């Protein structure tokens, strides 16, 4: 075929392709109510996937909120503490574990503490929380100060709302070795929450639901719509 004939044949083929494309566009407009619509792109599919993630996150927030509502506020704890004291060897939770400093204690605001204090060396001792660490029982520290004893005394007090780590001591002269640290935490702290079986079960359910929804959203098939059929 000569060059002029080939050029004419190619021109005719381009004209026919444009004609057929116009027919297909008109047919698509007819099926969509007279408005030409572009087929969904990868961006639209990503938008749909993001919407599923948003639904999953919303459900997770609702589940967490329901867990928080379902968990009742805990009542103040009744906390027994047994301490043995000696002027030379300090404090101990047992009569064989006395040390300087004494054992670290942990309580929460509002706890009802029952302190069972035993003098292990026959000398007179007492116990109190020294909030300002000045080795003296100040006016705001008397509520935690136990009676002194040469034998055994049981002392009850309610933990104040002053949080932090403080020193506990004996206020008797010569008891300088009898001290240790006590930490007062806000009631219902993380340790208390995780110790509640209802909270732990609720957290497991929430995270399981989030994982299941995420897997479902990721693995759900996303088929592009079929092109409109020309009439």
User: What's the chain's Rg over C-alpha atoms?
Assistant: 39
3-state secondary structure of 163: coil
Rounded-to-integer distance, Cα 181 and Cα 166, Å: 6
Answer whether 0.75 is exceeded by the pTM: no
Flag whether pLDDT at 104 surpasses 80: yes
Rounded-to-integer distance, Cα 41 and Cα 48, Å: 11
Angle at 140 between CA 135 and CA 143, to 5 degrees: 95
Q: Mean pLDDT in the chain?
A: 75
Tell me how far CA of residue 112 lies from CA of 79, 155, 180, in angstroms.
6, 11, 20
Of the segments 30-39, 56-65, 148-157, which one has the largest average pLDDT value? Answer: 148-157
Tell me how far CA of residue 114 lies from CA of 7, 98, 111, in angstroms.
105, 20, 9
> Domain 78-187 falls in which CATH fold?
Immunoglobulin-like (2.60.40)
Residue of 32 and 199 predicted with greater confidence: 199
Euclidean distance between the first and the last CA atom of the chain, given in angstroms as a whole number: 37
Tell me how far CA of residue 185 lies from CA of 71, 128, 156, in angstroms.
20, 17, 19
Beta strand residue intervals within 1-136, DSSP E: 78-86, 90-92, 105-108, 112-119, 128-130
Contact 46, 79 (CB under 8 A): no
Q: What is the bridge-based pairing of β-strands 112-119 and 152-158? A: antiparallel
The 10s digit of each residue's pLDDT in 35-88 is 445 454 555 555 555 666 666 666 666 655 555 544 455 678 999 999 999 999
Rounded-to-integer distance, Cα 3 and Cα 13, Å: 15
Flag whether pLDDT at 158 surpasses 70: yes
The 10s digit of each residue's pLDDT in 170-203 is 999 999 999 999 999 999 765 555 555 666 676 7
Residue 144: its pLDDT value, please?
Answer: 84
Domain extents in the chain: 1-37, 41-74+190-231, 78-187
Residue 140: its pLDDT value, please?
Answer: 82
The 10s digit of each residue's pLDDT in 204-230 is 777 677 777 776 666 666 666 666 666
């Amino acid at each position: 075929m000569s060059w002029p004939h080939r050029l004419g044949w190619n021109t005719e083929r381009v004209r026919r392709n444009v004609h057929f494309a116009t027919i297909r566009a008109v047919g698509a407009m007819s099926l969509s109510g007279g408005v030409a619509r572009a087929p969904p792109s990868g961006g639209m599919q990503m938008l749909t996937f993001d919407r599923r993630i948003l639904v999953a996150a919303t459900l997770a927030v609702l589940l967490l909120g329901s867990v928080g509502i379902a968990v009742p506020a805990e009542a103040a704890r009744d906390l027994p503490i047994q301490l043995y004291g000696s002027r030379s060897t300090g404090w101990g939770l047992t009569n064989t574990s006395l040390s300087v400093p004494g054992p670290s204690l942990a309580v929460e605001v509002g706890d009802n503490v029952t302190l069972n204090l035993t003098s292990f060396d026959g000398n007179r001792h007492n116990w109190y929380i020294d909030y300002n660490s000045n080795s003296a029982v100040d006016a705001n520290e008397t509520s935690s100060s136990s009676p002194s004893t040469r034998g055994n005394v049981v002392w009850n007090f309610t933990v104040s709302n002053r949080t932090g780590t403080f020193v506990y001591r004996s206020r008797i002269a010569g008891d300088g070795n009898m001290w240790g640290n006590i930490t007062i935490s806000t009631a219902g702290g993380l340790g208390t929450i995780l110790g509640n079986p209802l909270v732990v079960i609720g957290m497991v359910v929430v995270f399981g639901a989030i994982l299941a929804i995420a897997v479902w959203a990721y693995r759900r098939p996303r088929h592009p719509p079929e092109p409109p059929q020309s009439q």
